[in-house]
Amino acid sequence: MIILGIDPGLRNTGFGVVKSYGRSDATYIASGVIQTKADESLALRIKTILLGVQEIIATYQPDVVSIEKVFVNVNPQSTLMLGQARGAAIAACVLQNLPIYEYTALQVKQSVVGYGHAEKEQLQRMVVQLLKLAGTPQADAADALACALAHLHYSHLGKIFNMTSVKAGRMRDEK
């Protein structure tokens, strides 16, 4: 299974691609950042994200997508902008009929680091360790790789316990 992890952002949208062979371990395939230009209109920035995610999907052919949920920011304008960037990334995935799984930052950190309130640096170090990377990826790319790893861990747990989803950090049977 190839998992595309996405850390949405209007300025930088991180992506990470990992491959799993049915267990909870993963092999690194690729990661990076889709950058938009701050001086461009919102519409052009959204287009850049949509086209960037489409190109990543075409290149790496993921089976599933794992994307970080929007958290409510102190600044409502920032939250709305982040939501629009996230929507562009989701739209690119939906257009390719890819299943999308959503995780909060807390769930991602809990799954990868073991502590839901871990610092970004801790998350980066665990991504490097789990994927046996030679160097540390950029922060947004590391967050996206962590999102992909979180899906891998949660889906593996779901198979073990015959559960189908994660809500509020708990596995659920949706039958």
Q: What is the pLDDT of residue 24?
A: 64
Q: What is the pLDDT of residue 160?
A: 35
- Every domain of the chain and the residues it spans: 2-172
**Which entry of 25, 39, 68, 102 is annotated as an active-site residue?**
68
DSSP per-residue letters across 27-91? EEEEEEEEE--TTS-HHHHHHHHHHHHHHHHHHH--SEEEEEPPPPPSSHHHHHHHHHHHHHHHH
Check residues 21 and 60 and name the one with the higher pLDDT: 60
Check residues 169 and 38 and name the one with the higher pLDDT: 38
Contact indicator for 123, 131 with CB cutoff of 8 Å: no
| Each residue's pLDDT tens digit, 89-108 | 999 999 999 999 999 989 99
What is the distance between the terminal CA atoms of the chain, rounded to a whole angstrom?
A: 24
Collapsing DSSP states into helix, strand and coil, what is residue 23? Answer: coil
**Which entry of 102, 121, 140, 174 is annotated as an active-site residue?**
140
Residue 84 pLDDT > 60: yes
How far apart CA 36 and CA 48 sit, in angstroms, is: 6
- CB hemisphere CA count around 5 (13 angstroms): 33
Residue 173 pLDDT > 90: no
| Each residue's pLDDT tens digit, 32-50 | 999 999 999 999 999 999 9
Residue 158 pLDDT > 60: no
How far apart CA 113 and CA 24 sit, in angstroms, is: 14
**Which entry of 7, 25, 119, 121 is annotated as an active-site residue?**
7
Q: What is the pLDDT of residue 156?
A: 59
Q: How many CB atoms lie within 10 A of CB 107?
A: 22
Catalytic: 121? Answer: no
Assign 3-state DSSP to the chain and report helix, strand, coil percentages, each to 5: 45, 25, 30
Catalytic: 68? Answer: yes
* DSSP summary character for residue 24: S
Superfamily of segment(s) 2-172: Ribonuclease H-like superfamily/Ribonuclease H (3.30.420.10)
